[in-house]
Structure 1
Amino acid sequence: MNTQTSDDKNIALLTHLSGLLFSIIVPLIIWLTNKDKPEKSYLTEEGKEALNFQITVLIAYFVAGVLSVVAIGLLLMPLIWLGNLVFCILAAIKVSNGQSYRYPLTLRLIK
C-alpha cells in the first residue's frame, strides 16, 4: 500500500484538477519529477494516471476536430469537455481522501 503525506494528497488533487486548465502539462511534470523516487510512488501513480487520461482527452479532441467536417465532431466536443470535468472532479475527490483513482475509458499509454 502506498503511504502518502498530506502534501502528497494535495499535490495529487491539484494534478488531477489541473487537467481542466493545463491539459497534460502539470501531470507530466509531476510524473517526471517523482517517477524515480520510491517514497513518492503515490504521486508517481496519480501523475501517470492523470497524464494518461489527459492524453486520451487530447486524442478525443483531435478525433472530434477531424469529425467536425461532418458536424458530428461539433456535438462531441462539449461531451468530451463535460466528461473531462466530471472525471477530473471525481479523481480529485478520491485522492483528497488518500485513495487512488483509475479513470474509465482511458488509454494507458504511459506504463
Structure 2
Amino acid sequence: MSSTPETADAATTDGNTSMAAITHLLALFTWVIGPLVVLLVTDDEFVKANARTAINWQIWLTIYSLVAVVLILVGIGLLILPLLGLIDTVFVIVAAVKAADGETWSYPLTIDIL
C-alpha cells in the first residue's frame, strides 16, 4: 500500500521528466537554442512547458547581462556579471531537479515571454 502514493504522484505528470530535466541543462550550455529545438521537436506538453520556462529564463538572463555590461562603466557590472553566472547555474540545476521530480518550476526574476 505504500507504493500507491508514489504511483499516484508519478501519474500526475504524464510527461517525460528526463527530457524535461535535460532541457534545462541544455540551456546552461546552448543558451536558448537547445530548449528551442526541444520545444519545436517534442509533442509532450510537460517537456514543452519546461522548455518554455528555460527559454524565458535565458532571455531574461541575457537582458540582465546586457544591463550588467552597461554597468561596467560605473564599476558595479564587474561584480554583477560573475554573480549572474552563478545564479544561472544554480537556477538551472534547481529547475532540472524539479523537472525530474515532475514539476515545472518557474524561475524567479522572470516574466513569461513565451
> Could you tell me the TM-score, scaled by structure 2's length?
0.83
Contact 1:49–1:103 (CA under 8 A) maintained in structure 2: yes
The two structures, once aligned, show a CA RMSD in angstroms of 1.3
Contact 1:2–1:41 (CA under 8 A) maintained in structure 2: no
SS in 2 for 1:85: helix
Q: Quote the residue 2:49 is aligned against.
A: 45
Is the counterpart of residue 3 in structure 1 residue 7 in structure 2? no
How far residue 24 of structure 1 moved from its aligned partner, in angstroms, is 0.9
Q: How does 1:1-111 map to 2 (within 5 A)?
A: 2-4=13-15, 8-34=16-42, 37=43, 40-110=44-114
Which has more radius of gyration?
A: 2
Contact 2:13–2:102 (CA under 8 A) maintained in structure 1: no
Contact 1:12–1:92 (CA under 8 A) maintained in structure 2: yes
Alignment gaps of 5+ in structure 1 = none
How far residue 42 of structure 1 moved from its aligned partner, in angstroms, is 0.5
How far residue 94 of structure 1 moved from its aligned partner, in angstroms, is 0.7
How far residue 89 of structure 1 moved from its aligned partner, in angstroms, is 0.6
Per-residue CA shift, 1:51-77, capped at 9, x if unaligned?
A: 000111111111111111111111100
> Could you tell me the TM-score, scaled by structure 1's length?
0.85
Q: Quote the residue 2:9 is aligned against.
A: none
Identity of aligned residues (%): 36
Alignment gaps of 5+ in structure 2 = 1-11
Q: How many residues align?
A: 103
